[in-house]
Amino acid sequence: MSTIALAPSAPSPADPALVRAIEQRTSVSLFAPDQPVAEAQIAEMVRLATRAPSAFNLQNWRFIAVRSAPAKARLRELAWNQPKVTEAAVVFIVVGAPPNPAEIADRLAPSIAAGFMPPHMPAAWSDFAQELYAQYPQTARDEAVRTATLGAANLMLAAQAMGLASGPMSGFEPDGVADAFGLAAAELPVLLVAVGHAAPGNWPQKPRRPVSDVLSFA
Ligand SMILES: Cc1cc2nc3c(=O)[nH]c(=O)nc-3n(C[C@H](O)[C@H](O)[C@H](O)COP(=O)(O)O)c2cc1C
């Protein structure tokens, strides 16, 4: 693998609205505490979050929208006392679960009903997943983190597209959060994502390392 010197970036041919959401998203710390986010908006963000990909389309994620004052206060105690946990309108606990191959048939049934997936495929995927995760248990845990992380990324872009601000956090006590919010034994609280209306005073998106530092070709 080698890194290369890249030419200055050319104008992007990509969808400008999507590029704008990516470029304008920031990790917000200061939220306007008195501006709520409607339940319908919360549901829409989660609908868009779940358009993220997941292994075998298992969709092994869950989103707990923490929005009541007592629940947010409890979560803040478990999240290093970060003020945005109580100031943002809602804080999502993005939960990942290790993949359960027995659920593949159900999760793929709509793809068969839609007519593009051959009916024999879910059983084949399920057998393969069974073997894979039995042989590599760490992969199952990794998959929980990967799936939830991709869901969280979509969630933040969805918030951005809806004119809201977001802030991801891994600064929390996972066991405490799992306990306080009733996660199942195998479930992992992967990320917290605060969402709400930004208050004045937030930083812009921080400059990123040059592409030439992080891109290599093989
Ligand atoms: C996995 C992860 C964990 C993070 N944890 C926290 C956190 O606990 N508290 C916090 O204020 N910011 C947290 N951040 C936000 C980062 O500091 C922020 O994304 C980074 O500085 C880039 O900021 P920008 O996206 O606004 O440019 C976290 C981000 C990620 C991706």
Q: Give the nearest ligand 1 atom to 205 CA.
A: 27
Give 167 Cα–ligand 1 centroid separation in angstroms.
7
Closest CA to 119 of 109, 127, 107: 109
Strand 165-169 relative to strand 188-196, pairing = antiparallel
CA torsion sign for 193, 198, 200, 204 is positive
Residues 18-49 pLDDT 10s: 999 999 999 999 999 999 999 999 999 999 99
Test site for ligand 1: of 170, 172, 203, most ligand atoms within 8 A of the Cβ: 170
CB of 2 closer than 8 Å to CB of 217:
yes
Helix (H) or strand (E) holding 86: helix 84-87
Helix (H, G, I), strand (E, B) or coil at 96: strand
Hey, what amino acid is at 79? A
Hey, what amino acid is at 161? A
CA dihedral 176, 179, 182, 184 (to 10 degrees): 110
Residues 105-133 pLDDT 10s: 999 999 999 999 999 999 999 999 999 99
Query: Which class for 83: exposed (0-12), middle (13-18), buried (19 or more C-beta within 10 A)?
Result: middle
Residues 64-114 pLDDT 10s: 999 999 999 999 999 999 999 999 999 999 999 999 999 999 999 999 999
CB of 105 closer than 8 Å to CB of 123:
yes
Q: Which protein residue has the closest C-alpha to ligand 1 atom 5?
A: 169
Question: How many whole angstroms separate alpha carbon 48 and alpha carbon 46?
Answer: 5
Residues 137-181 pLDDT 10s: 999 999 999 999 999 999 999 999 999 999 999 999 999 999 999
Give 26 Cα–ligand 1 centroid separation in angstroms.
9
Question: How many whole angstroms separate alpha carbon 136 and alpha carbon 129?
Answer: 10
Q: Give the nearest ligand 1 atom to 28 CA.
A: 26
Test site for ligand 1: of 169, 177, 205, most ligand atoms within 8 A of the Cβ: 169
